[in-house]
């Protein structure tokens, strides 16, 4: 396990190797660095292949044709000469952190110094693809042993490293959960000590970490660790504990919104509670997009409907609920909450889908038909179309002429 698979190949990997080759041809040091080395050693497929080098950004621009500078202050370049974009960073050491977010200054330096500025030992390894088999992994911080022993440890003095950048507390949880690692004792203590200060980190960065945690099958472990390490207070502004039972019932590939709903329920949200309030809280603390917030709202609303209203809904209402944009997700969460209830609803939806054109047939008529009938366009259109569509869903209107006739009777009656 100490060496990445020799057979590993992907377009990204090959592009990164070519970047390294060019740098070596110019007598520079260049290694694969960070997350990709960790993933290769753990047998996971890396998301991207970052390269670290002793060439500086100006030199890099001279060696490659398609470069772009990102994070110029950190000496990070993108290289696109070989297809996929490869991030190429100059070895650096970080200056002091005065804002607990990012260093005030950086200095280009050696591989050893570069390893020391990284957060966790497992993230601080380099890989030299051109070295002889045994010497490919370059380890200045004991990361290889930690990978073998499945331990997550901060590089250097944990107290200092967690004080420098408070987001590392959440990164620790994410990596420990995802790779099934135990967090080292000192690192754990340091996380607890600095947990409160997480509230000083931007909600964008917190939200991004929580999103990654909830999108991964290890979401339950991550949420349990957040609770255990007292990070929940810092994220949500309250301590509610975490009951994992609903989240445990989600599928591995559960969506972010399903994860959020299960998190809310695990932290004590009950189906009768104020849905808007919980959605606003998560939007505010996790920087949810409008889309994510709406999905969370619809899931919670659908759950409420499935538990509290379904049995007294008419067929049209049931069909509308069953064909909503997040119904599939809501049913997953429902199943995790109450298997028997989910079975009942799913069976009934199955029956509904075989009746009168199915769950969401194309409407027989539209606004254009109403105009043709002689109605003046206006706000009442939606109510009329809704009413006639309900008739269609319940089988009382079975064709376009019948739909038009229904509208005509309705509107004449109203006059």
Residues at the interface with ligand ATP (CB under 6 A): 34-35, 47, 118-119, 123-124, 165, 167-168
Shortest Å distance, C-beta 62 to Mg ion: 26
Contact segment (CB under 5 A) with Mg ion among 33-41, 168-176, 300-308, 314-322 equals: 33-41
**Other C-beta atoms within 10 Å of 174: how many?**
18
Among 4, 35, 158, 259, binds Mg ion (CB under 5 A): 35
- The binder of 231, among Mg ion, ligand ATP, none, by C-beta within 5 to 8 A per type, is none
Shortest Å distance, C-beta 209 to ligand ATP: 9
Of residues 102 and 341, the one with the C-beta less far from ligand ATP:
102
Q: Kindly list the distances between the CA atom of residue 171 and the CA atoms of 90, 198, 207, 212, 222, in Å, as whole numbers in the listed order.
A: 23, 12, 12, 10, 10
Of residues 87 and 391, the one with the C-beta less far from ligand ATP:
87
Of residues 33 and 322, the one with the C-beta less far from Mg ion:
33
Shortest Å distance, C-beta 233 to ligand ATP: 21
Shortest Å distance, C-beta 115 to ligand ATP: 8
Binding string to Mg ion for residues 171 to 200, with x set by CB under 5 A, is what? ------------------------------
Of residues 35 and 57, the one with the C-beta less far from Mg ion:
35
Of all residues in this chain, which one has the CB nearest to Mg ion in the complex?
35
Contact segment (CB under 5 A) with Mg ion among 27-35, 62-70, 221-229, 339-347 equals: 27-35
Of residues 20 and 393, the one with the C-beta less far from ligand ATP:
20
CA distance 181 to 187: 12
Of residues 102 and 240, the one with the C-beta less far from Mg ion:
102
Shortest Å distance, C-beta 244 to ligand ATP: 23
Shortest Å distance, C-beta 36 to Mg ion: 7
- The binder of 124, among Mg ion, ligand ATP, none, by C-beta within 5 to 8 A per type, is ligand ATP
Shortest Å distance, C-beta 122 to Mg ion: 13
Of residues 35 and 111, the one with the C-beta less far from Mg ion:
35
- The binder of 165, among Mg ion, ligand ATP, none, by C-beta within 5 to 8 A per type, is ligand ATP
Shortest Å distance, C-beta 34 to ligand ATP: 3
**Other C-beta atoms within 10 Å of 335: how many?**
19
**Residue 306 token pair:** 């499935």
Secondary structure of the chain in HEC code, one letter for each residue: CCCCCCCCCCHHHHHHHHHHHHHHHCCCCEEEECHHHHHHHCCCCCCCCEEEECCCHHHHHHHCCCEEEECHHHCEEEECCCCCCEEEEECEEECCCCCCCCCCCEEECCHHHHHHHCCEHHHCCEECCCCCHHHCEECCCCHHHHHHHCEECECCCHHHHHHHCCHHHHHHHHHHHHCCCEECHHHHHHHHHHHHHHHHCCHHHHHHHHHHHHHCCCHHHHHHHHHHCCHHHHHHCCCCCCCCHHHHCCCCCCCHHHHHHHHHHHCCCCCCCCHHHHHHHHHHHHCCCHHHHHHHHHHHHHHHHHHHHHHHCCHHHHHHHHCCCCHHHHHHHHHHHCHHHHHHHHHHHHHHHCCCCCCCCCCCCCHHHHHHHCCCCCCHHHHHHHHHHHHHHCCCCCCHHHHHHHHHHHHHHHC
Of residues 121 and 318, the one with the C-beta less far from ligand ATP:
121
- The binder of 184, among ligand ATP, Mg ion, none, by C-beta within 5 to 8 A per type, is none
Shortest Å distance, C-beta 165 to ligand ATP: 5
CA atoms within 13 A on the CB side of 140: 16
**Residue 291 token pair:** 């889309």
Of residues 201 and 388, the one with the C-beta less far from ligand ATP:
201
- The binder of 119, among Mg ion, ligand ATP, none, by C-beta within 5 to 8 A per type, is ligand ATP
- The binder of 54, among ligand ATP, Mg ion, none, by C-beta within 5 to 8 A per type, is none
Of residues 49 and 306, the one with the C-beta less far from ligand ATP:
49
What residues make contact with Mg ion under the rule CB under 5 A?
35
């Amino acid at each position: 396990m100490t060496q990445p698979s020799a057979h590993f190949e992907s377009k990204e990997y090959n592009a990164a190797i070519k970047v390294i080759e060019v740098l070596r041809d110019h007598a520079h040091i260049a290694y694969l660095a960070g997350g990709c080395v960790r993933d290769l050693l753990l047998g996971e497929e890396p998301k991207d292949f970052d390269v670290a080098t002793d060439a500086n950004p100006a030199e890099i621009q001279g060696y490659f044709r398609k470069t772009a500078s990102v994070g110029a202050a950190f000496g990070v370049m993108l290289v696109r000469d070989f297809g996929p974009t490869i991030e190429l960073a100059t070895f650096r050491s970080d200056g002091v952190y005065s804002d607990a977010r990012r260093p005030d200054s950086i200095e280009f330096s050696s591989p050893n110094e570069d390893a020391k500025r990284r957060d966790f030992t497992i993230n601080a390894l380099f890989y030299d693809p051109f070295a002889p088999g045994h010497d490919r992994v370059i380890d200045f911080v004991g990361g290889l042993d930690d990978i073998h022993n499945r331990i997550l440890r901060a590089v250097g003095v944990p107290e200092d490293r967690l004080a420098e950048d408070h987001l590392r507390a959440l990164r620790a949880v994410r990596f420990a959960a995802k790779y099934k690692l135990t967090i080292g004792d000192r690192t754990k203590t340091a996380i607890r000590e600095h947990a409160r200060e997480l509230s000083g980190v931007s909600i964008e960065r917190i939200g991004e970490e929580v999103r990654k945690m909830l999108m991964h099958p290890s979401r339950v472990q991550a949420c349990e660790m957040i609770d255990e390490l007292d990070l929940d207070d810092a994220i949500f502004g309250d301590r509610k504990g975490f009951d994992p039972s609903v989240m445990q019932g989600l599928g591995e590939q559960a969506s972010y919104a399903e994860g959020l709903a299960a998190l809310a329920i695990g932290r004590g949200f009950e189906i009768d509670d104020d849905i808007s309030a919980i959605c606003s809280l998560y939007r505010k603390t996790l920087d949810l997009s409008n889309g994510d917030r709406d999905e969370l709202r619809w899931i919670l609303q659908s759950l409420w409907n499935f538990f509290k209203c379904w049995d007294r809904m008419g067929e049209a209402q049931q069909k509308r609920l069953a064909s909503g944009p997040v119904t599939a997700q809501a049913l997953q969460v429902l199943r995790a909450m109450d298997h028997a209830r989910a079975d009942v609803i799913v069976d009934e939806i199955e029956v509904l889908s075989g009746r009168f054109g199915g769950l969401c047939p194309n409407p027989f008529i539209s606004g254009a038909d109403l105009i043709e009938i002689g109605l003046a366009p206006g706000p009442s259109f939606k109510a009329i179309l809704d009413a006639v569509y309900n008739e269609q869903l319940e089988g009382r209107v079975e064709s376009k002429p019948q739909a038009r006739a229904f509208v005509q009777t309705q509107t004449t009656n109203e006059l």
